[in-house]
Structure 1
Amino acid sequence: MDEPIPATGRQFEITYGTARAVVTEVGAALRAFEVDGVPYSETYDADERPPGGAGAVLIPWPNRVADGRWILEGDPQQLALTEPDKHNAIHGLLRHVPWTVTEHAEGIVVLHAMVPVQPGWPVPLLTSIGYSLDADGLTVTHTVENLGSRAVPFGVGVHPYPRAGNAETDDCTVRLAASSVLPVDSERLLPARPSRALEGDELDLRSGRRLGGVVLDTAFGGASPRPDDPEQLVRHSVTDSSGHGVEVWADPVFGWVQVFTASEFPGRGRAVAIEPMTCPPDALNSGTGLITLPPGEGWTARWGLRPVG
């Protein structure tokens, strides 16, 4: 009798030297990333659902859509309410479906999935995600192709939980390359007011803040590269007291980042998610940060995890 398949499907391991990552078949999620046996992302058992959306790929929108409703060229759309307690559609359409592996070698795995026409989503998309390891760490490459006959707006996000090795989360410092924050209501976590600049604000994390006592489920905007950055990448990080940790880098199109502090990540306790996003919560209604893809055209962008210190 064949071994039972775990809840997250088959597990695809990739390696480069002492670096190792594991990607799941269901949701194409990042389940582990480590170097020299030191963990740089939170992990979980293959036979449990990803806690707190850990490692999830958020396509064709990240975060929330109020009431699951939006309008495409005058046509009302109604998505399934996948966050029923808040009456929202959350985190896209591909978190719980199996992806198809099209390439799997020692240091790379590439998976594809289709966003088919369905209630609330009238344009088919083909998307892929490639995870690759090299001497610099983990690089994740997204592509999206419009297979339909009309243009469609979309967004992309991811949900990693970076960690600074074995340091306790509350002893670590988080830094964000974000210059604004989007206030949300406390009940449904939907935008309540326009974004505000972070100059002089206690939520300004550009210079770093110790995570002890910090509670966030917050969307930050204005994420951009430093002017002197030779790679022109957006850079966030979680580091321990010695400066050792992990950088979450992204192409500039990921101009938003959601930060979520989990109080009870299994086997870990406190953990922090740093989620690069191309658009903010409820973007299918506000239009902010959406990428519009004409028929037959494609889009690609990258982000990754890199040990630092």
Structure 2
Amino acid sequence: MSIRPVTGTQFEIAHGSSRCVLTEVGAAIRVFEVDGRPLVETYPEDVLPPYGSGTQLVPWANRVADGRWVLDGEPQQLALTEPRRNNAIHGLTRTVSWEVRERTASSILFATTVNPQPGWPVALAATLAYALSDDGLTVTYGVENLGDRPTPFGVGAHPFPRAGHARTEDCVIRLAAETRLPVDDRLLPTGSPVPVAGTDHDFRVPRPLGATRLDTAFGGCRPGSDGLVHHQVLAQDGTGVDIWAEPVFGWVQVFTPDDYPGRGLAVAIEPVTSPPDALNSGTDLLTVAPGERWTGSWGMRPV
């Protein structure tokens, strides 16, 4: 009798020298490599993604304080999925199985339904499309409101990009962010965003990560001349990975755990549409009306 991996069926797509492995559970990126060079941290298929590695976050990213928020005057109580800090974290789709709707050699379309449940009363249809091309990996979200009232939401990605086999602490980091969100010890906002200029949090000009450790929400992500937001992780020789996103991903969470399994120090660079506790603050929340569908894209390409 075969034992099913905890991440479910593994789906490989490829294009030229690019290869990506996605998981049924969470529709997560478990492998992304070009010419055999890893561009994301990986993990075995028989363990849960370390620190949410490669997962996609729907219908909110980051944290909801005490799991509480209000929709149309009705108090909602989400499950406290970060009990150590008494928060609900990273949405409702990381541990569900996603159905494959379409598949080619270089692309795959996943779908799932966020059913009404405690703390989330409106049904949403969610899709995730992954496609490899000469320009790297593109990830496109779709969120459709299956309910009868407008519903706020947010989405985000949780990749751990890496510059091939370079040590994370030796890598150069570049962020398009112009502000940082002050937070408390529960990583919840304590005030308005503050400029990064002149501080240790200014990565607008690429600089080594070194001894810097972060679990930080950055905002004010400014698009480049191509209309896209760009963040980068680069080795000393200038090779690495570019994480791009449409302007709706105006925030980026950067997280640097020291104990990523088999790697030690790793860096998550997470394009998100809204900051921590946005279901309460309303900051940069998206809204989808009944019967309407929203789409947005981000991706990664080799440098």
Q: How big is the shift at 1:209?
A: 2.1
CA distance, structure 1, for counterparts of residue 57 and residue 135 of structure 2: 25
SS of 2:149 mapped into structure 1: coil
CA distance, structure 1, for counterparts of residue 261 and residue 109 of structure 2: 28
Which residue is 2:73 aligned to? 74
CA distance, structure 1, for counterparts of residue 161 and residue 110 of structure 2: 22
Q: Which amino acid aligns with 1:260?
A: F
Which residue is 2:122 aligned to? 123
Asked if 1:279 is matched to 2:274, the reply is yes
- CA offsets per residue over residues 147-184 of structure 1, 9 Å max, x none? 00000000000100000001010100110000000011
Identity %: 59
Report 1:133-212 matches (<5 A).
133-186=132-185, 188-212=186-210
Q: How big is the shift at 1:139?
A: 0.5
| Count of aligned pairs | 303
Tell me which moved more, 59-68 or 207-216: 207-216
Segments of 5+ residues of structure 2 without an aligned counterpart are: none
Asked if 1:223 is matched to 2:221, the reply is yes
CA distance, structure 1, for counterparts of residue 210 and residue 52 of structure 2: 22
CA distance, structure 2, for counterparts of residue 270 and residue 198 of structure 1: 23
Segments of 5+ residues of structure 1 without an aligned counterpart are: none
CA distance, structure 2, for counterparts of residue 195 and residue 212 of structure 1: 25
Which residue is 2:240 aligned to? 245
| Regions of 4+ moved over 6 Å | none
Report 1:80-99 matches (<5 A).
80-99=79-98
- CA offsets per residue over residues 22-76 of structure 1, 9 Å max, x none? 0000000000100110000000000000001100111000000000000011111
Q: Which amino acid aligns with 1:174?
A: I
SS of 2:268 mapped into structure 1: strand
Structure 2 length-normalised TM: 0.99
Report 1:249-260 matches (<5 A).
249-260=244-255
CA distance, structure 2, for counterparts of residue 98 and residue 105 of structure 1: 20
Q: Which amino acid aligns with 2:34?
A: V
Asked if 1:38 is matched to 2:33, the reply is no
Q: Which amino acid aligns with 1:117?
A: P
Tell me which moved more, 107-116 or 197-206: 197-206
Q: Which amino acid aligns with 1:295?
A: P
Which residue is 1:288 aligned to? 283
Q: How big is the shift at 1:105?
A: 1.3
Q: How big is the shift at 1:141?
A: 0.6
Q: How big is the shift at 1:242?
A: 1.2
CA distance, structure 2, for counterparts of residue 125 and residue 203 of structure 1: 36
Q: Which amino acid aligns with 1:193?
A: G
SS of 2:279 mapped into structure 1: helix
- CA offsets per residue over residues 246-279 of structure 1, 9 Å max, x none? 0000000000000000101111111100000000
- CA offsets per residue over residues 164-211 of structure 1, 9 Å max, x none? 00101010011000000001112x111112111122122111002211
Structure 1 length-normalised TM: 0.97
CA distance, structure 1, for counterparts of residue 207 and residue 183 of structure 2: 21
Q: Which amino acid aligns with 2:209?
A: L
Q: Which amino acid aligns with 2:214?
A: L
CA distance, structure 2, for counterparts of residue 177 and residue 295 of structure 1: 34
SS of 1:52 mapped into structure 2: helix
In angstroms, what is the RMSD of aligned CA positions? 0.7
CA distance, structure 2, for counterparts of residue 62 and residue 131 of structure 1: 19
Q: How big is the shift at 1:121?
A: 0.4
Which residue is 2:297 aligned to? 302
Q: Which amino acid aligns with 1:232?
A: G
CA distance, structure 2, for counterparts of residue 106 and residue 266 of structure 1: 30
